[in-house]
Amino acid sequence: MTETYVVLDYRLMIPKPSYIGKVRDVYDLGDSLLLSSSDRISAFDCVFQELIPGKGVILNTISNRWFKSFNSIENHIIETNYLNFPAPFNSIEFKDRATLVKKCKRIDYECVVRGYISGSLWKEYSKFGTLNFIFSKDKYLESDKLSEPMFTPARKNDTGHDENISEKKMKDEIGDDIFNKLKELSFFLYTTAEQKMRNSGIILCDTKFEFGFYNDNIILIDEVLTPDSSRYWSMDEYKTGISPPSFDKQILRNYLETLDWNKEPPTPKLPNDIINKIINKYKEIQEKILSCT
Ligand SMILES: Nc1ncnc2c1ncn2[C@@H]1O[C@H](COP(=O)(O)OP(=O)(O)OP(=O)(O)O)[C@@H](O)[C@H]1O
Ligand SMILES: [Mg+2]
């Protein structure tokens, strides 16, 4: 008697993502979500055609390592081993790049914590002399360490563009109790990570966290302390009065500044040497994070 085997190629059965972010693909599985980090890269709100091979795995690995290191804080992770994902997601293409998480009622604010004055906070301060809408008596140069870390929330709007808001506005919108809890958790996460990274020669300039409600508890969701959600600087390259190169997309941004590109789609083609430099930078920060967490 001959036996017939049917080989299922799960890759053929994978549905389209329910939501495609600039970098991540989100599959809605009912009570859970599968968050899959792609190798896409974006800058100036544009996603490039070229992929950065391995970037998605690095981002997912970094985020999960940080989630795990904060064992006192409840987070959204259900499963990180792709073999235990429900079919058809137990497929090799999700290996190390996807995480199965609890689907939460997202709290629509980015909880940004900054230890240094850079990015949009520097823009605000240099233009208006304010720090998160409050006049500052302290005098700062770009990238200076702040006298103490600041909480500078942003509201996640439906248009896709986050809006920086004052602490007071966020408090008025969500109430004192939730606001205080989110701020306290965010400071704890930032200061713990900042100290750990310092021992590896890295400055954690700023970062953002997201939280959600799960069974009425506030839990940590999304991605945590990745180079996409944080500004990491090497201590060797740190200087005030400039914007030091960051581990996220500085190589890409610097390259783009050499081109005559208006920062609107279509995006310019990325040469291989730039792609390789970007990959190496992501690998470098991964190594540092894995060694200190
Ligand atoms: N546990 C969770 N429950 C509910 N929503 C979550 C959870 N974890 C992450 N999310 C949401 O899933 C989405 C992940 O997609 P992603 O971060 O790639 O896109 P985005 O933030 O909308 O846009 P961008 O591409 O600018 O990051 C985000 O909207 C995030 O807030
Ligand atoms: Mg996001």
Specify the residue with its C-alpha closest to ligand 1, atom 15.
21
Tokens of 232: 């990491």
* Of 184, 40, 186, residue with least CA distance to 110: 186
Instruction: Please check whether residue 189 is in contact with residue 221, taking contact to mean a CB–CB distance below 8 angstroms.
Output: no
Q: How many A from CA of 139 to the centre of ligand 1?
A: 36
DSSP of 115-156, one letter per residue? EE--HHHHHHHHHHSEETTEE--S---TTPEEEEEEE--EE-
Ligand nearest to the CA of 27: 1
Alpha helices in 199-271 (DSSP H): 250-257
State pTM to two decimals: 0.94
Angle between the N-to-C axes of helices 272-292 and 250-257, in degrees from 0 to 180, rounded to the nearest 10? 150
Q: How many A from CA of 237 to the centre of ligand 2?
A: 27
The predicted structure's pLDDT at residue 79? 98
* Of 75, 103, 32, 81, residue with least CA distance to 209: 75
Would the CB of 221 count as within 6 Å of ligand 1? yes
Would the CB of 210 count as within 6 Å of ligand 1? yes
The predicted structure's pLDDT at residue 235? 96
The predicted structure's pLDDT at residue 1? 59
The predicted structure's pLDDT at residue 226? 97
Would the CB of 104 count as within 6 Å of ligand 1? yes
Residues 6+ apart with CB under 8 A from 233: 143, 202, 203, 205, 244, 245, 246, 247
- In 3-state terms, what secondary structure has residue 218? strand
Which segments of the chain are extended strands (E)?
Answer: 19-20, 24-28, 32-37, 42-43, 46-47, 77-79, 98-102, 105-106, 109-116, 130-131, 134-135, 145-151, 154-155, 163-164, 202-214, 217-221, 230-234
Q: How far is CA 163 from the centre of its chain?
A: 17
Specify the residue with its C-alpha closest to ligand 1, atom 31.
222
Q: How far is CA 185 from the centre of its chain?
A: 17
The predicted structure's pLDDT at residue 173? 98
Would the CB of 105 count as within 6 Å of ligand 1? no
Domains of the chain (ranges, CATH numbers)? 10-102 (3.30.200.20), 105-263 (3.30.470.20)
Among 20, 44, 77, 106, residue to substitute to test ligand 1 (most atoms within 8 Å of Cβ): 106
- In 3-state terms, what secondary structure has residue 170? helix
The predicted structure's pLDDT at residue 161? 78
Q: How many A from CA of 23 to the centre of ligand 1?
A: 10
User: pLDDT truncated to tens, each residue of the chain (293 aa)?
Assistant: 567 777 666 667 899 999 999 999 999 999 999 999 999 999 888 999 999 999 999 999 999 999 999 999 999 999 999 999 999 999 999 999 999 999 999 999 999 999 999 999 999 999 999 999 999 999 999 999 999 999 999 999 887 678 999 999 999 999 999 999 999 999 999 999 999 999 999 999 999 999 999 999 999 999 999 999 999 999 999 999 999 988 877 889 889 989 999 999 999 999 999 999 999 999 999 999 999 99
Give the number of other Cβ atoms within 10 Å of residue 244's Cβ. Answer: 21
Specify the residue with its C-alpha closest to ligand 1, atom 30.
222
